[in-house]
Structure 1
């Protein structure tokens, strides 16, 4: 039986082994991704219950502020805005429609009131004009001191980037990713070591802020994991059944010879 299943079927055995390894490996990776999202969601929910920080009065590091609620009072520097391209429309958990729509995140520096410090704000999402990439959507920016409420993050999220970084002298600045350290070098100003994702849903400024939960997509990861494990099982069963059928044929032939 060993010869019928393995020795005489080296190519089939190796192929089946590869299918099993790939299927199991991809399935485990999907389960790990789901677990990461669940832990991130739990961490965020726990930090949201903590007291609100104040960017104007608290001296905050990235570790202290990360995923915490923050209030900031200041005035936007509209001329230094950065539009992050290829960002999908944020859809909250349980939401539907428009999930595949591409657009921009509007990153804008906020000069904190009474200070020379700048805090970068992810003001929200706006749709892109598919016919004219550099035609930006209309967004209202008040020329006055505002109070911004949001959640602190290390960055606004990254996407795969091809080519060279955009020239900061061009206007408007449309880029793929945002780099806090690079902005310090470019402007030479003092800035907070994190960005704040604005959370005011009621503000009517032309931007969408229906930010999804970190646990969005967990069910999809479980579904993908099931598919990969099913593929691995199918590969094993196909190899095993065909091996047994070959073994039975060999027994029948040997019986005829006797």
Structure 2
């Protein structure tokens, strides 16, 4: 009982931590947008992750990568990732520009997207580098890739990319959707686990009382009636 009760409280504490983290994320998303200077001047990604950002720069279109097997609105396709060379500093940052459906007839055909030339302005939010999925051998090269290894991509392109990404936000444009999945806290699962552990503790308590007190008492009464 002590173990199951303790596990229940541990899961309850985990849920509380996740709720607090979600509150922190929501607060950061409501903050004013930072510029490229604040983006590059941050001491760590943790200081600015989820913050809105407003950037100006030039697309490095030749380094565009299509990350395969990414979903948006329930449909599989590509996340389109292009480095943006920031105006003023000349430093490139990785931008997840949006999602586009792939051609399922010719799987090697790249979808048509627009990449404006010259200086562009975009709004987004600071994020970690693109999440990695299970990768088959040979899927880490070329325009279509399963994952983007940042260290490998730096060596491949010669670009001094910081260890972060920007998810471009806004309405669909340039052939791309930007209905990014919103991270949930996941606290509901931990609350469920907590109640499961406490339910197990209750069952243990009931069985202990049943076999240690109720059953022996009933046996004693039957024996007393038999001897009478």
TM-score normalised per structure 1: 0.65
Judged with a 3 Å threshold, the aligned counterparts in structure 2 of structure 1 residues 32 and 133 are, in CA distance, closer, same or farther, namely farther
Q: Give the SS at the match of 1:191.
A: coil
* Alignment partner of 1:166 is 2:134: no
Native 8 Å contact 1:34 1:222 kept in 2: yes
| Residues 149/87 of structure 1: CA separation in 2 closer, same or farther (3 Å cut) | same
Distance 1:155 1:134 in 2: 24
Contact 1:140 1:206 in 2 (8 A): yes
Secondary structure (helix, strand or coil) at the match of 1:221 reads helix
Mapping 1:88-107, distance limit 5 Å: 88-89=71-72, 98=73, 100-107=74-81
Q: Distance in 2 between the 1:227 and 1:134 partners?
A: 49
Distance 1:171 1:213, change over 3 A: closer
3-state SS of 1:204 partner: coil
Q: Is the 8 A contact 1:106 1:125 kept in 2?
A: yes
Equivalent residues of 2:64, 2:143 under 8 A apart: no
Could you list the per-position Cα deviations for residues 136-159 of structure 1 after superposition, in whole angstroms to 9, with x for gaps in the alignment?
655433344321211112333455
For the aligned residues, what is the CA RMSD?
3.8
From 196, 215, 219, the equivalent of 2:166 is 196
Stretches of structure 1 lacking an aligned partner (at least 5 in a row): 1-16, 90-97
Q: Does 1:25 align with 2:7?
A: yes
Distance 1:34 1:139 in 2: 41
Structure 2: runs of 5+ lacking an equivalent = none
Q: Does 1:206 align with 2:175?
A: yes
Work out whether residues 156 and 197 of structure 1, in 8 Å CA contact, stay in contact via their aligned partners in 2.
Answer: no
The answer to whether 1:125 aligns with 2:99 is yes
Q: Is the 8 A contact 1:166 1:174 kept in 2?
A: yes
**Structure 2 Cα separation of the partners of residues 128 and 112 of structure 1:** 29
Q: Distance in 1 between matches of 2:9 and 2:105?
A: 40
Shift of 1:69: 1.9
Contact 1:41 1:213 in 2 (8 A): no
Q: Paired residue for 2:60?
A: 77
Distance between the aligned counterparts of 1:248 and 1:133, measured in 2? 74
- 2:122 and 2:60 map into 1 onto residues whose CA distance is 14
Give SS of 2:163's match. strand
Distance 1:48 1:138, change over 3 A: same
**How high is the TM-score relative to the length of structure 2?**
0.72
Structure with more contact order per residue of length (Cα contacts < 8 Å, sep ≥ 6): 1
